[in-house]
């Protein structure tokens, strides 16, 4: 008798990291876990803890060109057939979709075979793939509460990476920076936000008074072509900094941060809340359905951070914002406590409970 679970996720880290966390939890409970994704997704699956990773052809309908649309439809049809063979071979008790177009062929194939579906939406607004599947799902879970989600959605939160869970297990409390003590500022934008932050942050902190610049310890994510110029400006201003397009061991940097300026992607907001980092959230302004602003809403409403639309920010405003934060350790401590209060560190466990309930016919 099959004891398999099929996970289906798009080809980005935002879709695959939660799937990987769930796979680890389900495996610890005795389930055999399979993952279906597209070729892009294999960049993130080297540490996948399940039985197998199945690469399924997929495509999006991003172009209105009839020829491109026909090619996409053909690729999706091939993906549906390939996914059907996977479903037939492993006979899963449930299929869990994490969004992204590559999740569609496996989820539709599972549904066609009578396999119950569970959806996990990382954002506060259903993405296009999950929206297409929502009417067929036995259960829907989400990372954040929102009135834009289907009725009956279970708010599990977003599964956290093992690195973040390890930091939480250490139980370290937020340690404010006061007086002349170093102040650690972490600025992370991801692939879509690094351009804006790389353009504005170096000049903004260089304009701080000298006493503030001496205290500042800056971790800045910038695009490859921005790194040298940003580092030169920061060095000239006497600011201790690390500038790079990508950082390993990000959890350690978050846990030592006194303030974080970042986008409001689902994983970022969830990790900031879990660790209790006071934050200034700058939603990506061109996101579909403004999902990043919705992701930030609960954290900000609970006092765990502030939201700053990109359209309102320039270098002088960022200078003032950072200077004010460096002088308000008590306010930042209160934000840290509020952020942790809004976090959902048991998200992986709660999502696994929901999946097991559906898989067992509950």
Edge-to-edge strand list for the sheet holding 216-221: 240-244, 216-221, 183-188, 259-262, 279-281, 305-307
Whole-angstrom distance, CA of residue 356 vs CA of residue 5: 9
pLDDT of amino acid 219: 97
pTM: 0.90
pLDDT, tens digit, 9 for 90 and up, residues 147-197: 999 999 999 999 998 889 999 999 889 999 989 999 999 999 876 557 899
- Section 277-285 average pLDDT: 95
Q: What DSSP line would sit under 259-303, residue for residue? A: EEEE---HHHHHHHHHHT--EEE---TT-GGGHHHHHHHHHHHTT
pLDDT of amino acid 41: 81
Whole-angstrom distance, CA of residue 311 vs CA of residue 297: 18
| Average pLDDT over the chain, rounded to an integer | 92
Helix (H, G, I), strand (E, B), or coil: what is residue 327? coil
Whole-angstrom distance, CA of residue 222 vs CA of residue 191: 9
Helices (H), the chain: 13-28, 66-90, 104-112, 128-133, 162-170, 190-206, 210-215, 224-236, 250-256, 266-275, 291-301, 315-326, 329-342, 347-359
pLDDT, tens digit, 9 for 90 and up, residues 313-324: 999 999 999 999
The two structure tokens encoding residue 339: 């952020």
Q: Tell whether the model's pLDDT for residue 13 goes beyond 70.
A: yes
pLDDT of amino acid 328: 96
> What are 305's strand-pairing partners?
279
Higher pLDDT, 332 or 47: 332
The two structure tokens encoding residue 7: 């996970």
- Section 17-46 average pLDDT: 92
Does this chain's domain 4-159+345-359 share its CATH topology with 168-342?
Answer: yes
pLDDT of amino acid 110: 98
pLDDT, tens digit, 9 for 90 and up, residues 44-53: 887 788 889 9
Query: What percent of the chain is predicted at pLDDT more than 70?
Result: 98
Higher pLDDT, 110 or 288: 110
Q: Is 341 within 8 Å of 305 (Cβ atoms)?
A: no
- Section 244-271 average pLDDT: 92
Domain edges within the chain? 4-159+345-359, 168-342
Query: What percent of the chain is predicted at pLDDT more than 90?
Result: 75
Whole-angstrom distance, CA of residue 216 vs CA of residue 235: 12
Q: Tell whether the model's pLDDT for residue 1 goes beyond 60.
A: no
Edge-to-edge strand list for the sheet holding 117-121: 52-55, 32-37, 4-8, 94-97, 117-121, 139-142, 154-155
Q: Is 132 within 8 Å of 104 (Cβ atoms)?
A: yes
pLDDT of amino acid 77: 81
Whole-angstrom distance, CA of residue 96 vs CA of residue 154: 14
Q: Is 57 within 8 Å of 78 (Cβ atoms)?
A: yes
Whole-angstrom distance, CA of residue 266 vs CA of residue 100: 14
- Section 237-258 average pLDDT: 92
Q: Which fold has domain 168-342?
A: Rossmann fold (3.40.50)
Q: Is 142 within 8 Å of 121 (Cβ atoms)?
A: yes
Q: Indicate the CATH number for domain 4-159+345-359.
A: 3.40.50.2000
- Section 129-136 average pLDDT: 96
pLDDT confidence band for 61 (50 / 70 / 90):
low
pLDDT of amino acid 327: 97
For 188, phi and psi rounded to 5 degrees? -130, 130
């Amino acid at each position: 008798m099959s004891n398999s679970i099929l996970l289906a996720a798009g080809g980005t880290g935002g879709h695959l990291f939660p799937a990987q966390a769930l796979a680890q939890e389900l495996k610890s409970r005795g389930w055999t876990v399979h993952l279906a994704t597209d070729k892009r997704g294999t960049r993130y699956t080297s540490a996948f803890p399940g039985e197998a990773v199945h690469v399924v052809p997929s495509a999006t309908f991003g172009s209105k060109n009839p020829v491109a649309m026909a090619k996409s439809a053909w690729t999706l049809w091939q993906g549906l057939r390939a996914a059907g063979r996977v479903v037939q071979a492993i006979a899963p008790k449930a299929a869990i979709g994490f969004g992204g177009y590559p999740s569609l062929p496996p989820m539709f194939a599972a549904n066609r075979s009578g396999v119950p579906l569970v959806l996990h939406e990382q954002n506060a607004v259903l993405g296009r793939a999950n929206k297409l599947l929502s009417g067929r799902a036995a259960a829907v879970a989400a990372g954040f509460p929102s009135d834009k989600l289907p009725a009956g959605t279970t708010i599990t939160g977003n599964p956290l990476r093992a690195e973040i869970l390890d930091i939480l297990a250490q139980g370290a409390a937020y340690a404010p920076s006061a007086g002349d003590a170093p102040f650690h500022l972490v600025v992370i934008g991801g692939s879509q936000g690094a351009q804006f932050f790389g353009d504005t942050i170096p000049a903004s902190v260089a304009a701080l008074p000298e006493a503030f610049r001496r205290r500042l310890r800056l971790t800045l994510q910038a695009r490859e072509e921005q790194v040298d110029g940003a580092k030169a400006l920061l060095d000239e201003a006497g600011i201790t900094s690390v500038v790079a397009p990508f950082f390993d061991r990000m959890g350690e940097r978050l846990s030592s941060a006194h303030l974080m300026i970042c986008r409001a992607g689902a994983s970022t907001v969830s990790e900031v809340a879990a660790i209790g980092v006071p934050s200034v959230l700058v939603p990506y302004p061109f996101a579909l359905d403004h999902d990043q602003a919705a992701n930030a809403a609960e954290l900000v409403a609970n006092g765990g951070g502030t939201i700053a639309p990109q359209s309102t920010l320039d270098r002088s405003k960022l200078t003032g914002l950072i200077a004010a934060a460096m002088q308000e350790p008590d306010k930042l401590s209160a934000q840290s406590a509020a952020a942790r209060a809004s976090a959902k560190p048991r998200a992986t466990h709660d999502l696994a409970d929901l999946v097991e309930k559906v898989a067992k016919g509950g």
